[in-house]
A = this chain, B = another copy of it.
Amino acid sequence: MILVSVDDHVVEPPDLFEGLLPAKYAELAPRLVREDGGTYSWRYNGTESRSVGLNAVAGRPRSEYGIEPASFDDMRPGCFDIRERVKDMNANGVLGSMCFPSMPQFCGQLFARTEDKDVAAAMVRAYNDWHVDVWCGTYPGRFIPLGLPMMWSPDAAAAEVRRLAAKGCHAVTFSENPAAIGYPSLHSDHWDPLWKACSDEGTVVCMHIGSSSQLVVTAADAPMDVLITCQPVTLLQCAADLIWSPMLRKFPDLRVALSEGGIGWIPYFLERIDYVYDHHREWTGQDFGDRMPSEVFNEHIITCFIDDSVGVENRRWLNMDNVTWECDYPHSDSTWPTSPEIAARYLEGLSDAEIDKITHLNAMHHFRYDPFADLKRDECTVGALRASVAGHDVSIRARGRRFGASPTSAADLALTKRPA
């Protein structure tokens, strides 16, 4: 088995921007500051963010999943150190990984809020250069690069997508609902220049849960379990926006990934959109020509899952060329360091061809990722990778220091989250 994960997360190291910004902007870069008491925060553009390791709890006991890391000492080094990250990947048998950002938020909102858009653009470019050249570039063949967009301008975002594609980066992170973070919605034609660039360059638009900065809070006293249960299904709303907006029909080559959305709800969703189309199009005016909405979804949408036997069992409803797998390291929903064992449970009974598609071939195809250009295939299997780091410590270790109360309800968490 070969495992490629299309959804993991990087915790940005303090020296990220070193040498990557034009001299005139170097002093404006985000700075990691050690506070009294040993916690850290990122300072940028007059704001302060204590999310130095948002939900980076891998390797900690489950009883500590609610305690946010407030310092680099609270995390496994694999969260922020590329050498340690690769060891942690090896120990989990994972060959390839696509890493979403933490500090700048999912679509680089931190930078987009900068008033001077030249500064904002310099920050996005420097971040992307670090991500592609340093984070992913240090270990050729081990990472799928993922760029930040320039949210304030579809034209600037398009140019950045083209610049990154030339560097071999064919994924861009975007919001599951840009309207929720103050931009035009997926239904407008505002984003067309970006979609055209992605379409031209074969760049996948990745929409991760939480990238609308909206948490599912049903009631102020709802326990955290409600939020954790419901959050992935926010991508059902994103999928509905995608399917009923003109964008997929306007850009036939565009591909969108629903990151951390799971797949078990998708067969239901596909039946639902076809029912809605059949039942309501005469008054809503939707037109899919000679196709059905479910066909358009299955052509354009790349799905992924951590642990979802219902979805795997129902794979005949899905396009098996578009289903991918994720590890979610180092977040609390991750299966690290026993991902292969857990994956084996729900992949049992599938053909080898199906397993290969889900575990690595689909990700390689869609993200134009070719690990075997750099690495020998027989060194890339779960067994070989694990053997290469025999003795690497993956034991569970308490690291939580209670700097503050951990959130006990969804509303608590919503109060502590960063601005959109």
Listed in ascending order, the chain A residues whose CB lies under 8 Å from chain B are: 61-67, 177, 179-180, 185-188, 216, 218-226, 228-230, 232-233, 236-238, 240-241, 243-245, 262, 264-265, 267-273, 275-277, 279-286, 307-311, 313-314, 317, 332-333, 406
Q: How many copies does the complex hold?
A: 2
Interfacial chain B residues near A64, Cβ < 8 Å: 283
A368 to B311, CA, bound (A): 36
* Given contact pairs A65-B279, A271-B309, a sample of 18 additional A-B residue pairs in the complex whose CB atoms are under 8 Å apart: A67-B283, A179-B220, A185-B219, A185-B220, A186-B219, A187-B219, A216-B237, A218-B240, A218-B241, A224-B280, A225-B276, A229-B276, A230-B240, A262-B272, A264-B268, A264-B271, A268-B308, A310-B317
Q: How far is the CB of A214 from chain B (nearest CB, A)?
A: 10
For the complex of A and B, the 9 pairs showing the least CB-CB separation, nearest first, are: A264-B268, A185-B219, A179-B219, A62-B282, A66-B283, A63-B282, A225-B244, A229-B240, A267-B310
Dominant secondary structure of chain A at its interface with chain B: helix
**B187 touching A223 by the CB < 8 A rule?**
yes
In the complex, are the beta carbons of A279 and B333 less than 8 A apart? yes
Distance from A308 Cβ to chain B, minimum over Cβ atoms (Å):
7
Report the Cα distance A357→B419, complex, angstroms. 50
CA distance A294 to B230 in the complex (A): 15
Chain B nearest CB, measured from A19 CB (Å) = 40
| Smallest CB separation, A265 vs chain B (Å) | 5
In the bound complex, residues from chain B placing their C-beta under 8 Å from that of A187 are 219, 221-223
Nearest to A286 among chain B residues (CB) is B225
A412 to chain B, nearest CB (A): 12
Of A177, A188, A310, chain B has the most CB atoms within 10 Å of the CB of A310
A264: contacting residue among B62, B226, B272, CB under 8 A? B272
Instruction: Identify which of B225, B310, B317 contacts A268 (C-beta below 8 A).
Output: B310
Contact of A284 among B223, B238, B282 (CB under 8 A): B223
Are A65 and B282 in contact, with the CB atoms below 8 A? Answer: yes
Q: Name the CB-closest residue of B to A62.
A: B282
A66 to B240, CA, bound (A): 19
Q: How far is the CB of A112 from chain B (nearest CB, A)?
A: 18
